């Protein structure tokens, strides 16, 4: 029998069915899991705070008086003998039946004098819903237990990773991508597509462990086949047109396909519009949109990447880091996600995980549909994707600016450090299972610490994210290096000018 970590005490307001205090006999940490017996069964609780107290130091006047003589209260009284630790706990659930592992909400307070123990690993694993064959993201804080999350619970009902800049959200996402890429076929693999505006995940294609399973497409590679677009696509990407104008475009597209053009480009479409007998105003509207499309250097004869490249156990990275045009990024995201979802619904591609980095830029709240064409498609996947095993992952440093509809459909949230009050408020309102004490801990999380709430964890789980197995490639230079290089270039320019003169 392990030694007790502490003893429950009686205060003016506790114990209650939810909260209690206990005096420590062995060290415990804030966020650690503990257990003890109650009249209803074995209770599992989380330590929400730890306080150190000493009754000799409770009277400020007494401490001050001893200090006036140039000494301290320690010189006169046995203060060390009266220092003790008191921890606060929140009861999460009670095992009403050990035989069938039935867990229920507590409805009766524990008794003062009850011994408290560090939670047993096997019991805690079941209590939290840890899956030994799941996605290993790290270790449960202060416990000898891997934080391995069930694949279906984690991904099928969608996932959001929320954190401010520098808290480690892209690092965590890379860890989760490793888990998907390393998964054996017999254990169930997903195809992975990452929309990557900053090139965070392009380094996987340079890593010897993963390069054979990862393909990266950048601005020079990505293209949208014009012949696969409908009049509705043109309208969605480049603003509203009238019903009459849309009908004219539908006729032009129908004629092109009817003439045996299985594929055609913008030049063919522009020529067909120019030659067609239609109102000049309608012709001008479509020529204006097509010329803007041509300027983007995105719309060509074929899609790249093709849906043929979406394979189980492999990852496609759409590296948008070199694209400045915000509209172009939106159109790529809108088209690719639409094609993915259509193909998955028809069973033409395997179950997939779509990861959208900087999601608040692609599916913002309170922005017109014409300024965010990707929002409607990604939100539709959020609402309907689980039925077709089309899984969505949203990563954002500004949850307050993220589509509330999409975020509400993410049944698992992994939250790292967030300090912005508006973002914290959105997280507390939108994340299942976040109690006030958990919410209060989020601003104090260190880099690499996270809390998992929702479908993938039965109860909030604080986690130390594991180290990456893949090599971390720099996606940019640090400020100091850039400043030095700029200064060196200035000096070189001055030297060159002096030499010329």
Distance CA 443, CA 459 (A): 19
Question: Does residue 443 sit in helix, strand or coil?
Answer: helix
Helices (H), 243-372: 243-258, 266-275, 280-296, 326-345, 359-362
Give tens-digit pLDDT for 472-484. 876 555 678 778 7
- The helix (H) or strand (E) run that includes residue 167 is none
The pLDDT value recorded for residue 386 is 95
Q: What token pair was written down for 431?
A: 């994340």
The pLDDT value recorded for residue 481 is 76
Place of tokens 């205090």: 21
The pLDDT value recorded for residue 260 is 63
Local mean pLDDT, 10-residue blocks, the chain (501 residues): 90 95 92 94 94 71 62 60 86 81 90 96 94 95 94 96 93 96 94 96 94 96 92 83 87 82 84 89 89 90 94 97 93 96 96 96 88 93 96 95 93 95 88 84 94 94 95 70 79 71 61
Distance CA 298, CA 281 (A): 26
Please choose, from the candidates 324, 292, 360, the residue with its C-alpha nearest in 3D space to the C-alpha of residue 219.
Answer: 324
The pLDDT value recorded for residue 130 is 95
**Contact at 8 Å (CB) between 128 and 457?**
yes
To the question of pTM greater than 0.95 for the whole model, the response is: no
Q: Which residues contact 500 (CB under 8 A, 6 or more apart)?
A: none
CATH number of 146-222+309-465: 3.40.50.300
Alpha-carbon torsion (289, 291, 293, 295), positive or negative: negative
The pLDDT value recorded for residue 200 is 92
Please tell me the total number of residues recorded for the chain in this structure. Answer: 501
Sequence spans of domains, the chain? 6-119, 146-222+309-465, 225-300
The pLDDT value recorded for residue 292 is 87
Place of tokens 């929140």: 90
Q: Which residues pair with 318 in a beta bridge?
A: 195, 217
Distance CA 293, CA 233 (A): 12
């Amino acid at each position: 029998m392990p030694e007790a970590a502490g003893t429950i005490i009686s205060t003016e307001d506790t114990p209650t069915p939810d909260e209690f205090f206990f005096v420590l006999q062995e060290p415990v940490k804030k966020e650690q899991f503990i257990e003890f017996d109650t009249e209803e069964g074995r209770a599992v609780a989380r330590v929400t705070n730890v306080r150190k107290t000493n009754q000799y130091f409770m009277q400020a006047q007494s401490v001050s008086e001893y200090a006036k003589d140039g000494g301290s209260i320690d010189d006169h009284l046995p203060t060390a003998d009266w220092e003790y630790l008191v921890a606060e706990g929140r009861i999460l659930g009670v095992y009403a039946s050990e035989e069938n592992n039935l867990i229920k909400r507590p409805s009766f307070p524990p008794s003062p004098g009850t011994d408290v123990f560090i939670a047993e690993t096997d019991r805690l694993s079941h209590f939290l819903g840890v899956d030994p064959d799941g996605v290993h993201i790290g270790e449960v804080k202060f416990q000898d237990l891997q934080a391995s999350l069930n694949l279906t619970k984690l991904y099928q009902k969608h996932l959001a990773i929320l954190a401010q800049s520098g808290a480690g959200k892209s690092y965590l996402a890379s860890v989760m991508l490793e888990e998907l890429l390393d998964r054996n076929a017999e254990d169930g693999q997903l195809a992975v597509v990452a929309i990557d505006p900053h090139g965070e995940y392009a380094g996987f294609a340079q890593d010897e462990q993963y390069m054979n399973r990862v393909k990266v497409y950048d601005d020079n590679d990505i293209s949208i086949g014009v012949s696969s677009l409908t009049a509705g696509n043109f309208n969605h990407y480049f603003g509203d047109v009238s019903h009459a104008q849309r009908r004219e475009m539908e006729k032009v597209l129908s004629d092109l396909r009817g003439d045996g053009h299985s594929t055609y480009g913008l030049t063919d479409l522009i020529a067909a519009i120019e030659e067609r007998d239609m109102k000049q105003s309608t012709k001008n509207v479509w020529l204006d949109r097509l010329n803007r499309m041509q300027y983007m250097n995105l719309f060509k004869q074929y899609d790249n990447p093709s849906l043929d490249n979406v394979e189980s156990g492999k990852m496609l990275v759409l590296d948008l880091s070199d694209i400045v045009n915000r509209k172009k990024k939106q159109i790529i995201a809108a088209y690719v996600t639409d094609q993915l979802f259509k193909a998955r619904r028809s069973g033409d591609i395997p179950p997939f995980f779509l990861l959208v980095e900087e999601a608040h830029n692609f599916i913002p709240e309170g922005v017109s549909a014409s300024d965010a064409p990707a929002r409607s498609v990604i939100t539709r996947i959020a609402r309907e994707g689980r039925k077709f095993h089309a899984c969505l992952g949203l990563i954002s440093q500004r949850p307050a600016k993220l589509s509330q509809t999409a975020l509400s459909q993410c049944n698992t949230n992994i939250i790292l450090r967030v300090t912005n009050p508006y973002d914290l408020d959105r997280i507390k309102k939108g994340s299942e299972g976040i109690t006030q004490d958990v919410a209060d801990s989020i601003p104090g999380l260190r880099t690499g610490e996270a809390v998992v709430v929702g479908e993938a964890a039965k109860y909030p789980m604080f986690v130390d994210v594991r180290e990456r197995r893949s090599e971390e490639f720099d996606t940019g230079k640090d400020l100091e290096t850039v400043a030095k290089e700029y200064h060196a270039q200035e000096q070189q320019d001055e030297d060159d000018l002096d030499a010329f003169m």
